[in-house]
């Protein structure tokens, strides 16, 4: 596994190719359906955002509560396609990376190419395993949304597969039935 570390200076995900496996150590933010809805509304109205989207990485995740003595509960990815309607706005606002599971619309793939961003996949349905790579977790915005709040996570060697690279190539494209 190739290891990379962010925050990066500039957009260093550009060299990654769909299908590459990497491990990531940096700060990421969780956000799922309703957090996306609120971020998008704020962007449309020109209001300030509770997190800085510039070069940020968003993880489509709503973790379980942390049991006593643990940093976080189970924290796997949720289905990315539900976020597609909001993604263009977020990319335009500077979002650098997304982590989730499953396909994206062609529009999202094009926008990823346009903004030289990246879409990662991580082990789907493996929330207990993935919690091992989270070193700190703190809700930072929309706390009223409970599990859908935005959490700031520090992750160490978080396992990822490049789903859509900065050239817009998708890892799912060549999956023709045998």
Partner 1 sequence: MRIVSANKIRQVVSDLCVQANLVLRNDVLQQLKRAYLDEAKDAARDILEAMIKNAEIARLEKLAICQDTGMPCVFVEIGENVKISGDIKEAINKGIERGYKEAYLRNSVIADPLTRGTAWYSPAVIHFDFIKGSKIKLTVFPKGFGCENKTRLKMFNPTVPLEEIKRFIIAVVKSAGPDACPPYVVGVGIGGTADYACFLAKKALLRKVHGSKFTVHKLEKELFREINKLNIGPMGLGGKTTCLGVNIETFPTHIAGLPVAVNISCHALRSAGKTI
User: Measured from the CB atom, is 53 or 145 closer to partner 1?
Assistant: 145
Distance CA 176, CA 90 (A): 31
**Phi and psi dihedrals of 41, rounded to 5?**
-60, -45
Closest approach, Cβ 155 to partner 1, in A, equals 15
- Enter the tokens of residue 166: 């900065």
The yes or no reply on residue 102 touching partner 1 (CB under 8 A) is: yes
Each residue 12-51 as x (binds partner 1 by CB under 8 A) or -, in order, gives ----------------------x-----------------
Candidates 79, 110, 135, 157: give the one binding partner 1 (CB under 8 A).
Answer: 79
The yes or no reply on residue 148 touching partner 1 (CB under 8 A) is: yes
- Enter the tokens of residue 36: 């996306």
Distance CA 135, CA 156 (A): 7
Q: Alpha helix locations (H) across the chain?
A: 33-44, 84-92, 106-114, 127-130
Q: How many residues does the chain have?
A: 178
Residues engaged in binding partner 1 (CB under 8 A): 34, 61-67, 70, 73-76, 78-81, 101-103, 121, 123-129, 131-132, 144-148, 159, 161, 171-172, 175-178
């Amino acid at each position: 596994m190739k290891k990379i570390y962010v925050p990066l200076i500039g957009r260093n995900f550009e060299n990654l190719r769909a299908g590459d496996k990497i491990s990531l150590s940096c700060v990421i933010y969780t956000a799922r359906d309703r957090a996306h809805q609120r971020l998008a509304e704020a962007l449309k109205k020109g209001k300030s955002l509770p997190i800085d989207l510039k070069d940020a990485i968003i993880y489509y995740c709503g973790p379980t509560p942390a049991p006593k003595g643990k940093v976080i509960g189970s924290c796997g990815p949720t289905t990315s396609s539900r976020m597609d309607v909001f993604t263009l706005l977020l990319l335009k606002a500077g979002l650098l990376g997304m982590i989730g599971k499953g396909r994206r619309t062609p529009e999202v793939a094009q926008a990823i190419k346009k903004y030289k961003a990246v879409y990662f996949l991580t082990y789907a349905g493996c929330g207990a395993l993935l919690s091992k790579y989270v070193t700190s977790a703190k809700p930072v915005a929309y706390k009223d949304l409970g599990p859908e709040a935005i959490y700031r996570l520090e992750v160490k060697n978080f396992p990822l597969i490049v789903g859509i690279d900065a050239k817009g190539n998708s890892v799912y494209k060549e999956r023709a039935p045998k």
